[in-house]
């Protein structure tokens, strides 16, 4: 398996969120994590990124253990629910933020690839407040994908979008992820999102991450 989560425990203060939870993903797989508010979905993403610390268990990507690595060394991309764009930076500057370490030529090559992929080339000098919700989401996606992460995490990627736009945006997202062969775990509370995009669907139940075998997909 490409991503392996082995037997992890996570508590917040006295509240148990995950206990002896295991989970795995294949390379290139798109998985939805479905469940009601407060079930621990965002917390699980934070555990994977290293923003929250497990008290037991291990995490592996590509057979390399990442359990003790700080977030910046995990090569995991995260798109937060509110996108967390830098308001004082243009689209271009937002996308280039995570690839400062690349050589100048490679950095611009990657910027233009991401702008094209997310259809933002003509917005590259705009600032976040000048963008629609869908465009802001694509900037956040481009910023995460620019660094070629081993794993991409999306927290409720559709929750801030108009319902009429959702179907088109789901399809667009699926195409972008497939074209880069991205391994992606996304959180949603909407079974329709999961059906439209995911190869398999999981939920958090009794502190464990369980596959929903019959999601009618
Ligand atoms: P979901 O994303 O499924 O809605 P969350 O992961 O946000 O759920 O929250 C699950 C539980 O984790 C909440 O009950 C919350 O109290 C707790 N929790 C975990 N980490 C924190 C934190 N850093 N601050 C506040 N609450 C937290
Ligand atoms: Mg959440």
Ligand 1 lined by 42 (C-beta under 6 Å) = yes
Residue closest by Cα to atom 25 of ligand 1:
12
Q: What distance in Å separates the CA atoms of residue 195 and residue 159, rounded to the nearest whole number?
A: 16
Is residue 19 a contact partner of residue 208, using CB atoms and an 8 Å limit?
yes
Query: For 110-132, how does the pLDDT look when each residue is reduced to its tens digit (9 = 90+)?
Result: 999 999 999 999 999 999 999 99
What does DSSP assign to residue 177?
H
DSSP labels for 97-158? GGGTTS-HHHHHHHHHHHHHHTT-GGGTT--GGGS-HHHHHHHHHHHHHHT--SEEEEESTT
Q: Kind of pairing, strands 30-34 and 200-205?
A: parallel
Tokens of 126: 């705009």
Ligand 1 lined by 33 (C-beta under 6 Å) = no
Q: Which residue has the tokens 């667009």?
A: 172
* pLDDT over 80 (residue 179): yes
156 CA to middle of ligand 2, Å? Answer: 7
Residue closest by Cα to atom 14 of ligand 1:
38
Distance, C-alpha 179 to centroid of its chain: 16
- pLDDT-based confidence at 213, cuts 50/70/90? confident
If residue 186 lies in a helix (H) or strand (E), which one and from where to where? Answer: strand 184-188
* pLDDT over 70 (residue 216): no
* pLDDT over 90 (residue 201): yes
10 Å CB burial of residue 88 (0-12, 13-18, 19+) is exposed
Give mean pLDDT, residues 66-89: 95
Q: What is the pLDDT of residue 102?
A: 93
* pLDDT over 70 (residue 7): yes
Residues with CB under 5 Å of ion ligand 2 are 42
Ligand 1 lined by 53 (C-beta under 6 Å) = no
Name the H helices within the chain: 41-49, 91-96, 104-117, 133-146, 163-179, 191-197
15 CA to middle of ligand 1, Å? Answer: 9
Percentage, residues of the chain above pLDDT 70: 98
Give mean pLDDT, residues 183-208: 94
Percentage, residues of the chain above pLDDT 90: 85
If residue 9 lies in a helix (H) or strand (E), which one and from where to where? Answer: strand 3-12
Q: What is the pLDDT of residue 158?
A: 87
Atom of ligand 1 nearest to the CA of 189: 3
Question: What phi and psi values does residue 61 have, to the nearest 5 degrees?
Answer: -125, 130
* pLDDT over 70 (residue 151): yes
Pocket test for ligand 1, best of 19, 38, 78, 188 (most atoms within 8 A of CB): 38
Query: For 22-68, how does the pLDDT look when each residue is reduced to its tens digit (9 = 90+)?
Result: 999 999 999 999 988 999 999 999 999 999 999 999 999 999 999 99
Q: What is the pLDDT of residue 215?
A: 64
């Amino acid at each position: 398996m490409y991503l392996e989560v082995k037997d992890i425990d996570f508590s917040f203060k006295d509240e148990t969120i995950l206990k002896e939870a295991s989970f795995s993903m294949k390379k290139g797989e798109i998985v939805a994590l479905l469940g009601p508010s407060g079930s621990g979905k965002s917390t699980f993403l934070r555990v994977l990124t290293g923003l929250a610390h497990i008290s037991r268990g291990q995490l592996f990507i590509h057979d390399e253990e990442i359990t003790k690595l700080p977030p910046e060394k995990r090569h995991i991309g995260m798109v937060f629910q509110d996108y967390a764009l830098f308001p004082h930076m243009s689209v271009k500057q937002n996308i280039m933020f995570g690839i400062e370490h690349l050589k100048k030529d490679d950095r611009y090559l990657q910027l233009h690839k991401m702008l094209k992929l997310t259809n933002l080339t003509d917005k590259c000098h705009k600032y976040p407040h000048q963008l629609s919700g869908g465009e802001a989401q694509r900037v956040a996606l481009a910023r995460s994908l620019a660094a070629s992460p081993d794993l991409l995490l999306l927290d409720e990627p559709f929750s801030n979008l108009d319902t009429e736009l959702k179907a088109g945006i789901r399809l667009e997202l699926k195409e972008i992820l497939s074209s880069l062969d991205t391994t992606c775990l996304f959180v949603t509370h909407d079974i329709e999102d999961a059906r439209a995009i995911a190869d398999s669907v999981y939920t958090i139940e009794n502190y464990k991450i369980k596959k929903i075998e019959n999601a009618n997909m």
